Amino acid sequence: MREIVLDTETTGLEAHGGDRVVEIGCVEMVNRILTGNVFHVYINPERPMPAEAFAVHGLSTEFLSDKRKFIEVADEFIEFIQDDTLVIHNAAFDIGFLNAELERAGRPVIARDRVVDTLALARRKHPGGGNRLDDLMNRYGIDSSRRVKHGALLDAELLAEVYGELLGGRQASLIGLVEEVAEAPRLLVATASAARIRPVPLPSRLGAAEAEAHAAFVAGLGDKAIWLSYAGADPVARDKAAG
């Protein structure tokens, strides 16, 4: 199962009010494990950077002036994310901006039903608590010392760790060994049925003295002992207990 954890940086808050995407960071996960495959690009927004946005991510007008425009990176971005699930924190914000850029570039937009919003997951798991990315990193003990300013690639990497914790931490990585959570029971059944059956059972390691002692113990339990209904009960023990 391939998932893409994604984050963006922008010039502001209004996707259809003149603000633009200036950075995209994506990290690939397969079966909930980071593969090291990433997509990262800075983008020329074709407009000045407001001071408020610069204070958040530190990307200046000058720094972005020689970077490619979104229409020049659109196909690379689409090729990387393919049709796989996108994992995003506060997804409505990022998807709103990305779809606005894709529309301007004449490319297909991203369907909302392929997006996992970790903010929604966090609110269900921690109702009433702080659920910003910083809050979740603190809650789960994830090192955020590198996060001096917002950065799309770094935030995507940190979000991948948070996502794993939201799904159950280490247990999630074990479940991820099968393509879908629902496949786990079938995997266990298939493994059990594939085990070889010993053609000749091994002889019992219990001697006569142990068998007699066990029979005497069962006989003292009375005729309503649960042991008597056990499928593998010793027939000698059953007879002694009954008679």
pLDDT tens digits, the chain, 243 residues: what are they? 999 999 999 999 999 999 999 999 999 999 999 999 999 999 999 999 999 999 999 999 999 999 999 999 999 999 999 999 999 999 999 999 999 999 999 999 999 999 999 999 999 999 988 999 999 999 999 987 777 678 899 999 999 999 999 998 744 444 444 344 343 333 333 333 344 555 666 677 777 887 788 778 777 777 766 666 654 545 554 444 444
Specify the number of domains making up the chain: 2
State which amino acid sits at residue 47: R
Expressed as residue numbers, the domain containing 217 is: 208-242
13 domain-assigned: yes
Same domain, 98 and 217: no
Long-range CB contact pairs, 14-21, < 8 A, 24+? 15/96, 15/97, 15/99, 15/100, 16/96, 16/100, 18/47, 19/97, 20/45, 20/46, 20/47, 20/70, 20/97, 20/101, 21/45, 21/70, 21/97, 21/98, 21/101
Q: Looking at the domain assignment, is residue 192 inside a domain? A: no
Q: Is 232 part of a structural domain of the chain?
A: yes
Tell the residue number behind the tokens 């209904």, with chain if given.
Answer: 229
List of E strands, the chain: 2-10, 21-30, 33-42, 85-88, 115-117
pTM attached to this predicted model: 0.69
Torsion of CA 58, 159, 85, 79, to 10 degrees: 40
Q: Does the residue 198 lie in any domain?
A: no
Residue 102: inside a domain: yes
Candidates 16, 40, 150, 214; catalytic one: 150
Say whether 150 is catalytic.
yes
